[in-house]
Amino acid sequence: MARLILASALVTATLLSAGPALAFQCPKLIGQITATAGNRFDAAAADARAKAAGAEALHKAAKHADAVKLAKEGLAQLGVK
């Protein structure tokens, strides 16, 4: 019984600490898209900017994992790894 309680406490602590870590990563990735796209006017830059806007909206809605995923997709379109 003690192991189950300990395991539950560890899982809960891990999940609670992962959310804030992702929350701080979103603006950083969105900033990278903005800086990399710069004054580019090609289709990849336009799509990356759209993904950055979507990621920002998800970040504000506290859906940080989805925001990070979308922002990373935008960076990949710009050729940033």
Q: Indicate whether 15 belongs to any domain.
A: no
Q: Indicate whether 8 belongs to any domain.
A: no
Mean pLDDT of the chain: 84
Q: What percent of the chain has pLDDT over 70?
A: 77
Q: Indicate whether 4 belongs to any domain.
A: no
pLDDT single digits (tens) 2-19: 776 766 666 665 555 545
Q: Indicate whether 14 belongs to any domain.
A: no
70 is in which domain, residue-wise? 20-77
* pLDDT at residue 6, rounded to an integer: 61
Q: Indicate whether 11 belongs to any domain.
A: no
Q: Indicate whether 13 belongs to any domain.
A: no
* pLDDT at residue 48, rounded to an integer: 95
Domain total in the chain: 1
For residue 60, what pLDDT band results from cuts at 50, 70 and 90?
Answer: very high
Query: How many angstroms separate the CA atoms of 30 and 52, rounded?
Result: 5
Q: pTM for the full model? A: 0.70
